Amino acid sequence: MNIFVAKLSFGTTDEDLKQLFGEYGEVSSAHVVTDKMTGRSKGYGFIEMPDDEAANKAIKELNECEYDGRVIAVSQARPREEKSYSDNRGGYGNNGNRSRRY
């Protein structure tokens, strides 16, 4: 099961998450999402656990608990929604309706 964790301390590492969730069962992977430009944590991450029962127990027990000085939010990860670019209403890609001033 893929698990989403939010509100992480910016100092939390992949290894920290692996250890935290490892208390509930096998962890296939743990990843804190970082900003591509700065390398700084974005404050959320994903954990993959092969045993759904262990994953559900971890979600139940770790959601809204304090970890590394922050109250974290833990839930089952949902599939990423596709963005519709037809709804883009700003910027220069707006059907050429934006005039440039020099």
Q: pLDDT, tens digit, for every residue of 1-26?
A: 999 999 999 999 999 999 999 999 99
The whole-number average pLDDT for the span 59-86 is 89
Backbone Cα Rg of the chain? 18
Nearest CA among 67, 77, 59, 74 for reference residue 11? 67
Domain borders along the chain are 2-78
77 close to 93: Cβ distance less than 8 angstroms: no
Contact criterion met (CB below 8 Å) for 20 and 62: yes
- CA dist., res. 26 & res. 36, Å (int): 29
pLDDT reported for residue 91: 55
On whether the 2-78 domain is CATH 3.30.200.20, my answer is no
Q: Can you give the pTM of this predicted structure?
A: 0.77
